[in-house]
Amino acid sequence: MRTSPDTASPRSPARAGEARVSDSPDGDVPQSRVLQGVVSDAGAPKGEGRSGTSVAGAVLKVAWPEAAPRSSPRVLEVVLRFGQPADGGMRVIADGLRLSLAPATITLLLGPSGAGKSSLLAAVAEALPGTRAIHAECFPRDVAVIDAVAPARPVAEAMRALTACGLGEPACWTRRFSQLSEGERFRARLARAITLHRRAGTEAPLLCDEFGALLHARLARATAFNLRKLVSRERLRMVVATSRADVVADLRPDTVVRLGPSGVQAVLAKQGLPAGAPEFSLWRSLRIEPGGLKDYAALGHMHYRGDAAVGFVDKVFVCREYPGGEVLGVVVYGRPALELSPRNACTAGRFVRRPDLLNREVRCIKRLVVHPDVRGCGIGHRLVRATLPMVGTRFVETLAAIGEVNPVFEKAGMTRAGCTEPPASMRTALGRLARMGVDPRDADFAVQVRTRPAVRQTVVEAVRAWYRATTGGLAERRCRQADGRLPQVFRQLAGSRPVYYIWARDAADWRMIRARSA
């Protein structure tokens, strides 16, 4: 964009405190904007925001002369027949539009295509230095998404940012940006923009043009809901432009600027958002009901362990978009692992070497899968919270590798009771592999397992020992089932530090768990 602060608007004389910006949206047609804006602790401009916080403010005038096309017989006929101006006239989008952008607020520019939303966004960017455009956020080539988000911070921060933006699938984290779908790209851009914006420490707003333009209705609504949560939680300033009125209920903007063919038509400012946590519009129609393995099969491939055997299944529950509608979430309950040290610690050793009692009183959440469209919208924890009492056992537990970055089970009412560490047999196996010059993280690990008998034997013994400790008599069967993907299973067992969660049906058991988990 070409800027010329010394070029005044042809219809506005120079005044102190104004920045004049001239650019050419069509390449050769001069566009004149007159802008005023500050970012200060005093306000917008010189006012206070919520709770005395700083407010980014701008007063915008956006207008430009519309160049007349080259005259032709057809143009003259249209001008004469329909009374259109022959000289192009003056296009005014906004004249003195005042925007106050406090932390944790969304300003929505809503109007049809061609109404001037993008021009207003560009004016905000020019008035307030330091803005970042989510829709234009660039990703490095040939770099995994996880490496491009919060690149200077710990990997856990990048995973939390992606999960919070609704991109919680580990399979997406290791792909290049170009390999993502359109909806996944927006969520990845959002995560990268927020983390980079946070690092920059600027009070300028984040901008987003054409929000939801390429997304289907359900995904657009879910993305709007997640964006609202992020803006409130991270106390961001956000200016969003869209032509979609169907996302307004979930976006819950603080200010709505309505545009039409003649520019800004109305500015609607809400006096604060409703108290309490935001509600997703889809929640009203959701139905939670018993399901079966066929329902799990519909979503199971979307789980990061989708190709692994689920094992013995006791109960399955599903969350449907509406009665008889598509499955948006599924939770699978089954028999627990034979021995787990966190369980023994928080239940006073009640189930040590007592498999019959364990199978009577404990069930385990084997899988929780939510449709990618609606991840981050609270469906997972609502599904778990609603079905825990339906399982019919004294305790319900789960091990979650995602627990370090996604508190879904804590939100569902379960108690975090520690992390599991690899057993001694796994540490021994890793030492033997290191002495053979083999690293499970190397790209050729699968080839090493397949072609070197000693490496394969070490991996098989470690996997068998893990299954023996967790499944007892089923160890050999499970190990045979895993034979075709031994490298993947070993990597996961060696690198995983899953979080252990437990839920109790009775108040006395809750007191015991909380006392021993503190």
Which string of DSSP letters, residue by residue, matches 223-277? HHHHHHHHHHHHT-EEEEEES-GGGHHHH--SEEEEEETTEEEEEEE-SSPPSSS
What is the model's pLDDT at position 201?
A: 84
Element (H, E) at 352: none
pLDDT at 436 over 50: yes
Question: Would you identify the CATH topology of the domain 132-279?
Answer: Rossmann fold (3.40.50)
Burial of residue 456 (number of CB atoms within 10 Å: 0-12, 13-18, 19+)? middle
> For 127-164, how does the pLDDT look when each residue is reduced to its tens digit (9 = 90+)?
898 999 999 999 988 899 999 999 988 888 999 899 88
pLDDT at 354 over 90: yes
- Beta strand pairing status for 206-208 and 132-133? parallel
In which order are the strands placed within the sheet that holds 55-65?
Answer: 19-23, 31-40, 55-65, 90-101
Average pLDDT estimate for 295-300: 88
**Which segments of the chain belong to CATH 3.40.630.30?**
282-421+497-517
Q: Which CATH class is domain 282-421+497-517?
A: alpha beta
% of the chain surpassing 70 pLDDT = 82
> For 57-88, how does the pLDDT look when each residue is reduced to its tens digit (9 = 90+)?
788 888 877 777 788 889 888 888 888 777 76
**Which segments of the chain belong to CATH 3.40.50.300?**
132-279
CA distance 418 to 440: 26
> For 79-129, how does the pLDDT look when each residue is reduced to its tens digit (9 = 90+)?
888 887 777 677 889 988 999 899 999 999 999 998 999 999 999 998 898
> For 442-465, how does the pLDDT look when each residue is reduced to its tens digit (9 = 90+)?
888 888 988 999 999 998 888 887
Burial of residue 91 (number of CB atoms within 10 Å: 0-12, 13-18, 19+)? middle
pLDDT at 509 over 50: yes
pLDDT classification of 343: cutoffs 50, 70, 90: very high
Secondary structure letter of residue 144 according to DSSP = B
> Nearest 10 degrees: CA dihedral of 514, 375, 326, 247?
130
What is the model's pLDDT at position 488?
A: 78
pLDDT at 23 over 60: no
What is the model's pLDDT at position 218?
A: 93
What is the model's pLDDT at position 239?
A: 96
